[in-house]
Chains A and B, each alone.
Chain A
Amino acid sequence: MDPIPLLQVKHLKKYFPVRKGIFSKRIGWVQAVEEISFHLHSGETLGLVGESGCGKTTVGRCILRLLEPDAGEIWFEGEDLLRMDAESLRKVRARLQIIFQDPYSSLNPRMTAGEIIAEPIRNHTRCSRKEIQDQVSFLMDKVGLHPEQAHRFPHEFSGGQRQRIGIARALALHPRLIICDEPVSALDVSIQAQVINLLVNLQEEMGLSYLFIAHDLSVVEHISDRVAVMYLGKIVELAKDTVLYSSPKHPYTEALLSAVPIPNPKMKKQRILLQGEIPSPINLPKGCRFYSRCSYRMDHCREVDPEFKDLGEGHWVACHLY
């Protein structure tokens, strides 16, 4: 693995204002992403898991600058994306692509599958019509669609096929990093396996890197080399997949893992039930964000926000226990 990471995110921060009343007075902030740092090597898959509302999608969108972060640095291939002008950003985005969650709303219903896949090629290169057509056929074949279906509209495809169109579109410009934002959660299990296998095969073939955002812990374990767990806008734990899943350190990771039902009726495991639900991310109190639901909480945790520190061998945890 090369020493300089492909992507390096430092102290990323994104707040959304909460407005109310006829003058849209700002009454608070949603701390969607608070001081997040991580890196991603070339050819690697980093899983980003968390429950709804934890800010994982916001992280993905900030990296692409589909949302403007409020603070931080995002280094991609040695350049800081946040200090880039629009033109250079446009060029970088050819190598930095995204696959969206919902294959129903992320494809333009008035464009054919072929047009959808050809659009990035037309925007970024000077290929002739013939070359574009060849490339579209090549890409469709690669993701397991029949090139003859290029003139069909998205509604004529099934969910799994639509997700394949989205993948072909993301691959069109030979990207180095693809942000996969819940790419399989809208699909049935048998189709989910097909798409996961496709993503794994494409990665090996084309040397892609993935930032794999999902809420399904078993899918994330399957596909990732390293996994980061988010809770209320912060990464609470980051480690190699086998380490994280076999010996989780953070109480939240531990509870999250024990909550996943395992498809083996002979294994009756001890479940850690978290009390309550995720608190609202508006105007959070100081101290650890997991304090209210944590079973190991100490007085200290209410006062001081734990630091995100390295326990060795790339196992990062934000908890006062360590």
Chain B
Amino acid sequence: MMEFHSLLSIRNLRTCFHTYEGVVTAVDGIDLEVYRGETLGVVGESGCGKSVTALSILRLLASPPAEIKGEILFEERDLLKMSVDEIREIRGNAISMIFQEPMTSLNPVLTIGEQISEAIRLHQGLTRQEAWAKAIEMLQMVQISSAEVRVNEYPHKLSGGMRQRAMIAMALSCHPRLLLADEPTTALDVTIQAQIVDLMERLKEEIHTSVLLITHNLGLIAEMARRVVVMYAGKVVEEALVEDLFSEPLHPYTQGLLGSIPWIGRKMETGRRQLQEIPGMVPSLLEMPEGCRFHPRCPRVMEVCKGEEPPLVQKEGRRILCWLWK
């Protein structure tokens, strides 16, 4: 196995929002490590804090109401301690982001070309013409046909798949060392999703980017990621290599998650008509249960889970936040 060097390391990140109903802790003390050249998958259901983690890394949350604590070390520099000018130098340059909704995250009153060349001009100091030529080149790289024409068009004239490609072109235009992909294919049809996944894999090889892939789609994780982090209610509950996680999930939540998705072909093997369900629902961030946050839904709950927070167990290179493995 090759040696991996850490690119991004998050230590005890805690992001809270001050709201009228009280303080909401969306991300509650998580640790993450992204190594150079790898794809780290982050899975979880809505409200588990996976998107807030990504937004915290780039400090894209307005403060107040948000409050970010902890350390986010990118190439040994703490992003949270940087001045506004320093973080702007990083955004879209060394770290860039692909957002979930290609409809709302592109500016509707600027052409695609203007939006892509803006980042290039800003970070690479190219002239207007050079940046424009680079924008066309980027659009060709993400396989948009007749890029010279498309570059002059506004986002509403492009289809969902094309907008997502344009956004990827924008994100990759400065050859970032870290790409945060927040549900990059969720809004797309499966055949288009397959095209985008293929494109991202290829571009990752070409420009050696590390990817933090945030999604709720376990299939996508299995195909793209090397390591996986499972989040539940603001905490990392399990971390493992992708093969280990899928062959032997250790945390009861991960087990439930894997059991609750229908897989193509599984019905033929088992003939089962019932999916395994996780009873109940994700707790509201305002009313977190005491002890382990998963205990009201956990099939293997013990007395200790109800009162005390579970310990982080290190086991054969995996991390599990659960009393069962103590």
* Chain A residues near B (Cβ < 8 Å): 51-52, 158, 160, 188-194, 196-197, 200, 215, 217-219, 221-222, 241-242, 245-246, 255-266, 271, 273-274, 277-278
Q: Is B324 at the interface (CB under 8 A from chain A)?
A: no
Across-interface contacts of A193 in B (CB, < 8 A): 259-261, 275-278
User: Within B230-275, which residues are at the interface with A (CB < 8 Å)?
Assistant: 242-243, 246-247, 256-265, 267-268, 273-275
Across-interface contacts of B281 in A (CB, < 8 A): 158, 160, 190-191
Would you mind naming 7 contact pairs between A and B with Cβ atoms under 8 Å apart?
A188-B46, A189-B261, A193-B260, A194-B278, A197-B275, A222-B275, A271-B198
Across-interface contacts of A190 in B (CB, < 8 A): 45, 256-257, 260, 277-278, 281-282
Q: Is B316 at the interface (CB under 8 A from chain A)?
A: no
A221-B264, A221-B267, A277-B159 known; 8 new pairs, CB 8 Å cut-off, are: A51-B191, A190-B45, A196-B275, A218-B219, A218-B262, A242-B267, A259-B193, A262-B264
Whether A261 contacts B278 by the Cβ 8 Å rule is no
Q: Is B310 at the interface (CB under 8 A from chain A)?
A: no
The residue that B274 contacts in the complex, of A200, A245, A261, with Cβ under 8 A, is A200
Residue-wise, chain B 6-32 has the 8 Å CB interface mask toward A (1 for contact) of 000000000000000000000000000
A222 to B271, CA, bound (A): 9
Whether A256 contacts B191 by the Cβ 8 Å rule is yes
Q: Which single residue of chain A is at the shortest CB-CB distance from B284?
A: A158
A255 to B198, CA, bound (A): 14
Q: Which single residue of chain A is at the shortest CB-CB distance from B47?
A: A188
Across-interface contacts of B263 in A (CB, < 8 A): 218, 262-264
Q: Which single residue of chain A is at the shortest CB-CB distance from B195?
A: A273
Across-interface contacts of A264 in B (CB, < 8 A): 222, 246, 263
Whether B190 contacts A188 by the Cβ 8 Å rule is no
The residue that A188 contacts in the complex, of B45, B195, B268, B279, with Cβ under 8 A, is B45
Across-interface contacts of B198 in A (CB, < 8 A): 271, 273
How many Å from the CB of A168 to the closest CB on chain B?
A: 18
The residue that A256 contacts in the complex, of B190, B221, B268, with Cβ under 8 A, is B190
How many Å from the CB of A245 to the closest CB on chain B?
A: 6
The A/B interface has a contact count, at CB < 8 Å, of 127
How many Å from the CB of B307 to the closest CB on chain A?
A: 24
Whether A51 contacts B275 by the Cβ 8 Å rule is no
Whether A245 contacts B190 by the Cβ 8 Å rule is no
Residue-wise, chain B 197-216 has the 8 Å CB interface mask toward A (1 for contact) of 11000000000000000001
- Please name the 10 residue pairs, one residue from A and one from B, whose CB atoms are nearest each other, closest first: A261-B219, A193-B260, A222-B262, A259-B194, A51-B189, A190-B278, A188-B45, A193-B275, A263-B218, A265-B222
Q: Using a Cβ–Cβ cut-off of 8 Å, how many residues does chain B contribute to the interface with A?
A: 47
Across-interface contacts of A51 in B (CB, < 8 A): 189-192
* Chain B residues near A (Cβ < 8 Å): 45-46, 159, 161-162, 189-195, 197-198, 216-223, 242-243, 246-247, 256-265, 267-268, 273-279, 281-282
A259 to B197, CA, bound (A): 10
Whether A188 contacts B216 by the Cβ 8 Å rule is yes
How many Å from the CB of B271 to the closest CB on chain A?
A: 10
Across-interface contacts of A271 in B (CB, < 8 A): 194, 198
Whether A245 contacts B262 by the Cβ 8 Å rule is no
Q: Which single residue of chain B is at the shortest CB-CB distance from A275?
A: B195
How many Å from the CB of B185 to the closest CB on chain A?
A: 9
Across-interface contacts of A257 in B (CB, < 8 A): 264
Q: Which single residue of chain B is at the shortest CB-CB distance from A274?
A: B191
A258 to B45, CA, bound (A): 25
A160 to B282, CA, bound (A): 11
Tell me which of A189, A246, A274 has the highest count of chain B C-beta atoms within 10 A of its own C-beta.
A189
A258 to B198, CA, bound (A): 13
Across-interface contacts of A274 in B (CB, < 8 A): 191, 194-195
Across-interface contacts of A260 in B (CB, < 8 A): 190, 219, 264
Asked, given contacts A218-B261, A265-B242, A265-B246, whether A259 binds B216 with beta carbons under 8 Å apart, the answer is no
Whether A263 contacts B258 by the Cβ 8 Å rule is yes
Across-interface contacts of A273 in B (CB, < 8 A): 194-195, 198
Whether A263 contacts B277 by the Cβ 8 Å rule is no
Whether B282 contacts A188 by the Cβ 8 Å rule is yes
Across-interface contacts of B161 in A (CB, < 8 A): 277
How many Å from the CB of A150 to the closest CB on chain B?
A: 19
Across-interface contacts of B279 in A (CB, < 8 A): 194
The residue that A265 contacts in the complex, of B45, B46, B223, B259, with Cβ under 8 A, is B223
Whether A194 contacts B265 by the Cβ 8 Å rule is no
Q: Which single residue of chain B is at the shortest CB-CB distance from A194?
A: B277
